Amino acid sequence: MNFIHSLQDFLQYDFLLYALLGTLFLSITCGLISPLLIARKNAFMGSAISHSTLLGLAIALSLFSSEKPFAIFLTTLVITILCTLFLAFSTYRQKLPTDSLIGIFYTATMALGILIHSAFAKNKTDLLSFLFGNILLLTKEDVLLSMAILAITAPLIIIPFKKWLFLTYDEEGAITSGVNSKFYHYLFFILLSLLIVTSIKLAGTILIETLLLVPGFFALKFANNVKQTFIISVLFSTFFALLGILIANTYGLPSGATLAVVLFIALVLSLVFKKIYTFLKSF
Amino acid sequence: MNSPTPILRADKICFSYNGEATILRDISFSIYAGESLGVLGPNGGGKSTLMKIIVGLLKPSSGELYFEEKPSSEFIKYPYDFFSYVPQNSELNTILPVKVSEYMSFTAALYKKQNDTDELLNLVGILHKKDSLISKLSGGEKQRVLLARALINRPKLLLLDEPTKGLDSNGQDQLLAIIEKIKKRDQTAVIIVDHNINQIVRNCHKILCLNRTYHWHNNSDLLTKNILEDVYHCEFEHLLIHENDLQPGKEKADHENHLFCDHDHSTDKETHSLMRRKK
């Protein structure tokens, strides 16, 4: 019964409708990128980018007061993209494991961010609180922003879809067939930082990292071919993100955390059912 | 047989990583349409490095490559459609569940040759596995898929880095027979890197031995046991068999028919088919 009332709320209140649409657009975008992020072994890079936003945010808050959210957003975006480009440059076709470099980089940028914030910020509020957005507080502009991110990301993934797959599956084969590996390497990280910076403002770091990792992981566990992988990832991401926001609203729970937990439970349950099914099938 | 223009000519290719120890020094050779060049040498001798230079993954420190006598430096974009490369142990990313047909379509889409894929899979004898996941195929089947993928652009030059690695002798023979078929069908020039000296000497027209220095043989018959021992820094016995020795009715192998053996030995296939180092 509660659920039905909750559904009615989404149609009745603008802020809930915005939350629903924002979640829908974000989950589709993340569902599209997620299998690539995991298959390219860049999951840690996603974490590094989301944490390095702290440096951008600290610099932005030193330059602008918190009454200028758009200036803060743009500054954070530009600085995070610059950091990401440096990481992309340092990790392109490296033989040495890149996870250590990424780890060093993101702890260093976080630390630098905290120092800059404590020394120069115009508003000394808790810096970390900026990293935990609230999807239930989205405005119309935020929804348009999440739609714009989807409109930018989807064609850049779908049109050269086979090139992305070729590079991910057989990088040397793709390069020697003329695919510009360096271009796609940088493009992927720019798209990722664009998505993360925008989403953190809207949804918070927990939710965005969950949306970037869980759907792809689920799809790669269950899909039988490449197309299926991406379709399953988008459907899983969208369905459980919307279910999560519905539950959060029904029981008055924190939105980002609820969505993250719902996606995680869905993943664990499906893996358990798969194990049981495989076990029963063996008899 | 040789056309006047070589498909590929290397002129004094040198390579070292960041100015450290030289891996390749003054490597020169040429290969014509329909010919095969075998590259031999111990690990670390520069075989794979040479392949990566030819396909543009590495840049030589000095020297020049000529594709049909046009210097590679004069191409605005590296001539990727001129050749195809099957890397060593082709590091396929097993995280993605890619089917044979999907993998073929990645390259076919680049060259807009979607219709040729079945024909090529048939050529390498793997059409029946078209809808299988590549991760579920055997080593030999995977190599055939890689080979079929490399043929989509009908390359003038095919580069194979240890194509028979991990295959049993039957698998090796089958793969080399397919390569021979491709060579004859399309007059494709083929460069093969392999550790199997017997296979290379038997199947290649020209031999390049690499071990930081190099020996170039315009004809595989000119390769001698001494040169191989020099390249590999060790002594060999039983380097090459002649198939005639294994014909039924032949009781004892005639050592004069052996390119690298200087003593009589049995016609037992096992002892013949192995290249062995002296203990």
Are B77 and B179 in the same domain?
A: yes
Cα–Cα dist B113/B161, whole Å: 25
Spell out, as residue ranges, where chain A has pLDDT lower than 70.
1-3, 94-97, 122-133
Are B84 and B172 in the same domain?
A: yes
Of A169, A225, A229, which has the smallest distance from its Cβ to B92's Cβ? A169
The nearest CA of chain B is from the CA of A14 a distance in Å of 41
First to last CA, chain A: 41
Cα–Cα dist B36/B191, whole Å: 6
Report if residue B199 sits inside a domain: yes
pLDDT of the residue at B258? 47
Report if residue A158 sits inside a domain: yes
Q: Which residues of A125-144 are buried (b: 16+ CB within 10 A; e: fewer)?
A: eebeebbbbebbebeeebbe
Q: Cβ(A194)–Cβ(A157) under 8 Å? A: no
Are B217 and B274 in the same domain?
A: no
Span of A15-29, A186-200, B97-111, B186-200 with lowest mean pLDDT: B186-200
Report if residue A144 sits inside a domain: yes
- Give the residue from A95, A176, A221, A233 with the most B CB atoms within 10 Å of its CB, the best one to mutate: A176
Report if residue B112 sits inside a domain: no
Are B212 and B277 in the same domain?
A: no
Report if residue A213 sits inside a domain: yes
Question: Is the CB of residue B132 less than 8 Å away from at least one CB of chain A?
Answer: no
- Which residue type does B209 have? C
Are B186 and B277 in the same domain?
A: no
CB contact under 8 A, B96 and A178: no
Q: Which residues of B106-129 are buried (b: 16+ CB within 10 A; e: fewer)?
A: bbbbbeebeebbeebbebbbbbeb
Cα–Cα dist B215/B206, whole Å: 11
And the tokens for B230? Answer: 């020099």
**Pairing label, strands B213-217, B206-211:** antiparallel
Cα–Cα dist A75/B40, whole Å: 56
pLDDT of the residue at B244? 46
Report if residue A279 sits inside a domain: no
Candidates B6, B45, B5, B2; CA nearest to B27 is B45
Report if residue A277 sits inside a domain: no
Are B214 and B256 in the same domain?
A: no
**Phi, psi (deg, nearest 5) at residue A276:** -65, -45
pLDDT of the residue at A46? 83
Query: How many domains would you assign to chain B?
Result: 2
pLDDT tens digit sequence for A56-106: 888 888 888 777 778 888 898 999 999 889 888 887 876 666 778 788 888
Are B177 and B193 in the same domain?
A: yes
Span of A175-179, A268-272, B4-8, B273-277 with lowest mean pLDDT: B273-277
Handedness of CA B256, B261, B263, B266 (dihedral sign): negative
The nearest CA of chain A is from the CA of B92 a distance in Å of 5
Report if residue B137 sits inside a domain: no
- Distance (Å) of CA A191 to CA A21, A84, A236, B50: 21, 10, 21, 36
Q: Cβ(B213)–Cβ(B227) under 8 Å? A: no
Question: What is the span of the domain harbouring residue B41?
Answer: 8-91+154-234
Q: How confident is the model at residue B272 (pLDDT cuts 50, 70, 90)?
A: very low
pLDDT of the residue at B114? 65
Are B173 and B254 in the same domain?
A: no
Of the CA atoms within 13 Å of residue A160, those in its CB half-sphere come to 17
Question: What is the span of the domain harbouring residue A27?
Answer: 2-272
CATH number at residue A162: 1.10.3470.10
- Distance (Å) of CA A127 to CA A106, A276, B129: 16, 45, 56
The nearest CA of chain B is from the CA of A266 a distance in Å of 21
Asked if residue B218 has pLDDT above 70, the reply is: no
Residues of chain A neighbouring B78 (CB-CB closer than 8 A): 178
Report if residue B141 sits inside a domain: no
First to last CA, chain B: 42
Question: Is the CB of residue B18 less than 8 Å away from at least one CB of chain A?
Answer: no
pLDDT tens digit sequence for B50-90: 999 999 989 999 999 999 989 988 888 899 989 999 886 55
Residue partners of A11: CB distance under 8 A and separation at least 6: A17
Asked if residue B219 has pLDDT above 70, the reply is: no
And the tokens for A214? Answer: 């869980």
- Distance (Å) of CA B208 to CA A109, B7, B25, B26, B218: 51, 16, 13, 13, 9
- Which residue type does A83 have? C
Q: Cβ(A168)–Cβ(A216) under 8 Å? A: no
B20 burial level (CB within 10 Å; 0-12, 13-18, 19+):
exposed
CATH number at residue B219: 3.40.50.300
CB contact under 8 A, A165 and B98: yes
- Bridge partners of residue B211, in order along the sequence: B213
Question: Is the CB of residue A144 less than 8 Å away from at least one CB of chain B?
Answer: no
Query: How many domains would you assign to chain A?
Result: 1
- Bridge partners of residue B189, in order along the sequence: B157
Residues of chain B neighbouring A176 (CB-CB closer than 8 A): 55-57, 80, 83-85, 87
Are B259 and B163 in the same domain?
A: no
Asked if residue B264 has pLDDT above 60, the reply is: no
Report if residue A281 sits inside a domain: no
Cα–Cα dist B212/B238, whole Å: 25
Q: How confident is the model at residue B221 (pLDDT cuts 50, 70, 90)?
A: low
Of the CA atoms within 13 Å of residue A31, those in its CB half-sphere come to 24
Question: Is the CB of residue A41 less than 8 Å away from at least one CB of chain B?
Answer: yes
Question: Is the CB of residue A152 less than 8 Å away from at least one CB of chain B?
Answer: no
Cα–Cα dist B91/B75, whole Å: 28
CB contact under 8 A, A173 and B85: yes
The interaxial angle of helices A181-203 and A161-169, nearest 10 deg, is: 110
Report if residue B127 sits inside a domain: no
Report if residue B161 sits inside a domain: yes
- Which residue type does A136 have? L
Are B268 and B189 in the same domain?
A: no
Report if residue A115 sits inside a domain: yes
DSSP state of B220: G
Cα–Cα dist B6/B10, whole Å: 10
Cα–Cα dist A117/A60, whole Å: 9
pLDDT of the residue at B223? 65
Are B69 and B21 in the same domain?
A: yes
Q: Cβ(B86)–Cβ(B146) under 8 Å? A: yes
Residue of chain A nearest B153, judged by CA positions: A177
Candidates A261, A252, A241, A250; CA nearest to A199 is A241
- The three-class DSSP label of residue A168 is helix
Report if residue A48 sits inside a domain: yes
Report if residue B101 sits inside a domain: no
**What count of residues does chain B have?**
279
Span B214-219, mean pLDDT?
64
Are B54 and B163 in the same domain?
A: yes
Question: Is the CB of residue A39 less than 8 Å away from at least one CB of chain B?
Answer: yes
CB atoms within 10 A of CB A158: 11
Q: Please, what is the average pLDDT of chain B?
A: 78
Cα–Cα dist A127/A99, whole Å: 26
Candidates B139, B126, B131, B124; CA nearest to B98 is B131
Residue B14: in which H helix or E strand, if any?
strand B8-16
Residue B39: in which H helix or E strand, if any?
strand B36-40
Residues of chain A neighbouring B133 (CB-CB closer than 8 A): 224-225
Of B78, B85, B98, which has the smallest distance from its Cβ to A226's Cβ? B98
Residues of chain B neighbouring A38 (CB-CB closer than 8 A): 95
